[in-house]
Structure 1
């Protein structure tokens, strides 16, 4: 879809399981919050509905974006549909964020709906809910949702996810791609002056949840111990899988070389990215890979799996980083990068240029065009 602008200001309702303050917020929430803020800067009105969480206010204003929080992990979907029914006369278009489970907003009436899908969850369902409930969840996502949203505009963040949606029966011409942007700090150059750590170092960044497979990064540290006895791993982020990861590091005998930082501020995150030699993304499925382009801004190459979806676009294989077909190859690639400073430097410089080509301004313009198309389609 060509970047364009809508004909008039829109009243937009974002339905998202989590907002940016939620303890389990990740890259999908960054996308929703950044684009919401920029849509308001372009004259649109944006309200976000998301789940409540302990310590979070029921209503908060984030700049010009109003966030309404109701319901819990599962009940927020029903509460979101109720909220839409209540305010539908005040809304021009709904952005329904599918995080495995959608909000079923087409059932609320004639308000135009844009379905935002970062990635499909075939692999995550059984990991989180077990084989039986996992199968039910996948059937809802893969069979029922495409029927309910069959007349809706879709938006996603990578070619890979668009292909996955087409495989589920969504018409390709109804799917717009809006690559996630990147936050370029004003003081980015100051991080370029930071020296890499004086010993080989790896980093993973994200929510500590089972389907991120951070155990693989811990295994790589253990498996490469003979070759790199001073190799360390920085684990940045928080989540309910923290204790399991610490136990795994202890079981592999590398607790002293795996450093758990928890949630960190922006400066600390960027400092760690600048000092790391290589960033790993061992997740088996990602819609895009925001961590990869964040690392790229700091000249740090990344390694991810070739079957993980959007990372095949956030990483340009053998130019900005490497894509592995399995765990054994990932371990070998990491070892090769740690041994070759010149290769790391080349990938890092390419990654920096690649990362700077993505901006939230462009993402927002692309999303705005999809919103306008959805409104126009419903109007006629």
Structure 2
């Protein structure tokens, strides 16, 4: 790691990795994309903050992972790493604070934004600190990346980025994939059970899930809430539980490995996602894979796409509506099961392989004419349409890749992925917001439907 020649084809800089105690869905997205690029023959490295769960350097599924610096010093260390190693392409993952890789990178920089943090800054840092953070994100960052391409996971975030001055033709939407859910040994509990999964931090608003239990406990004596995750806000949440008198109804499971996590999801009747903001909401599709519908806030942004409102879950506007929606789902078991089945079909329509192809296309476009020929060749191979028609790329119109170089109307896609979903549910009248911006490229991440020509 001492040579100043280009030894890295794609360098991801991110403040955390998936093994970090505060890692979540956005970190998993970065890992899966990086691993997919590495599997395609590219030399991929991830630079992120150090923590006590990982060595200083390791290789994870073909990706070299380097841990240096802390929560804030990782930014300066990352810039030094970029300047010294001169990667062919830098993927700058902006979790609110920009790394500013454009200041030192010799090649193209692609900026990944999962969601805009406007609402989160004051929650975490107060009014003054939040104002500074929002200025960094909304004013400084768009200037730093004014010549860069952007990748985001939802049309909702793309719309917010254009409001900050990012041109729509520089934004590519590549949603999360979904890994096949592992086999589980459990079935939904006999007694009503809710689950909330995520980092225990203020903007996830787990307090709202606890409040739901407190308000429904008298009408549903057997009701329980499983809280999965860890974070620095946990003591406040435990205080909330005691204050509301639901200590025997709320279970704090902390961090769970993948198998245990999926076991808990499979036991639930309803998944709650009360976050202030979600770029996509990976846990929505993870829960859906176990036929568990989601109730979340419409204002969270990305949930308007990961949840098909009224079909795979319910989007609400405030806590009162969340309580009402949960009670309706608990009461009407038939509607809940239909919604869960629709959620499973919807989740099955997303794959990481399709996401990697879409991301490779975004990188290839950003690096055209500047990256080494070998890197562009690898990206072109990774981005090539598959005969299975698993992913379509288009310039603002709904289309799907038929594998023959042509495109046609999409039958199932990211924004209108309710094809075949059962309409006879309790929440047929749920509202859905149409996109207000058409980014330059949208990846319709849909899993392939086996055909005689696509299966061996």
Query: TM-score, normalising length from structure 2?
Result: 0.79
- Give the whole-Å Cα distance in 2 for the aligned partners of 1:55 and 1:63: 17
Match of 2:139 among 114, 136, 143: 143
- Give the whole-Å Cα distance in 1 for the aligned partners of 2:139 and 2:215: 41
- In structure 1, the partner of 2:319 is 327
- In structure 2, the partner of 1:213 is 205
- In structure 1, the partner of 2:41 is 43
Deviations 1:352-379 (A, max 9, x none): 0000111110111111111111101646
TM-fit CA distance, 1:260:
0.4
Deviations 1:290-335 (A, max 9, x none): 0100000000000000110001100000000000011111110001
TM-fit CA distance, 1:82:
0.6
- Give the whole-Å Cα distance in 1 for the aligned partners of 2:272 and 2:73: 34
- Give the whole-Å Cα distance in 1 for the aligned partners of 2:215 and 2:328: 14
TM-fit CA distance, 1:109:
3.6
Structure 2, unpaired ranges of 5+: 1-6, 373-456
Q: Secondary structure at the match of 1:259?
A: strand
- In structure 2, the partner of 1:157 is 153
- In structure 2, the partner of 1:126 is 122
- Give the whole-Å Cα distance in 1 for the aligned partners of 2:258 and 2:99: 31
* Total equivalences in the alignment: 366
Q: Secondary structure at the match of 2:17?
A: coil
Query: TM-score, normalising length from structure 1?
Result: 0.94
TM-fit CA distance, 1:55:
4.7
- In structure 2, the partner of 1:13 is 11
TM-fit CA distance, 1:201:
0.8
TM-fit CA distance, 1:275:
1.1
Label 1:379 to 1:86 Cα distance change in 2 as closer, same or farther (>3 A): closer
- In structure 1, the partner of 2:32 is 34
- Give the whole-Å Cα distance in 2 for the aligned partners of 1:225 and 1:163: 39
Q: Secondary structure at the match of 1:255?
A: coil
Structure (1/2) with the larger helix percentage: 1
- In structure 2, the partner of 1:57 is 55
Contact residue 228 and residue 253 of structure 2 kept, 8 A: yes
- Give the whole-Å Cα distance in 2 for the aligned partners of 1:275 and 1:230: 14
- Give the whole-Å Cα distance in 1 for the aligned partners of 2:20 and 2:144: 28
- Give the whole-Å Cα distance in 1 for the aligned partners of 2:113 and 2:269: 32
Q: What are the within-5 Å matches in structure 2 for residues 246-265 of structure 1?
A: 246-265=238-257
Structure 1, unpaired ranges of 5+: 1-8
Match of 1:176 among 172, 176, 184: 172
TM-fit CA distance, 1:182:
0.6
- In structure 2, the partner of 1:305 is 297
Deviations 1:82-109 (A, max 9, x none): 1100001xx2111000000121000004
- Give the whole-Å Cα distance in 2 for the aligned partners of 1:175 and 1:194: 42
- Give the whole-Å Cα distance in 2 for the aligned partners of 1:283 and 1:272: 20
- In structure 2, the partner of 1:6 is none
Contact residue 116 and residue 157 of structure 2 kept, 8 A: yes
Work out whether 1:316 is the aligned partner of 2:308.
yes
TM-fit CA distance, 1:20:
1.1
TM-fit CA distance, 1:63:
2.5
Q: Secondary structure at the match of 1:256?
A: coil
Root-mean-square deviation (CA, aligned residues, Å) is 1.5
Q: What are the within-5 Å matches in structure 2 for residues 70-109 of structure 1?
A: 70-88=68-86, 91-109=87-105
Contact residue 98 and residue 136 of structure 2 kept, 8 A: no
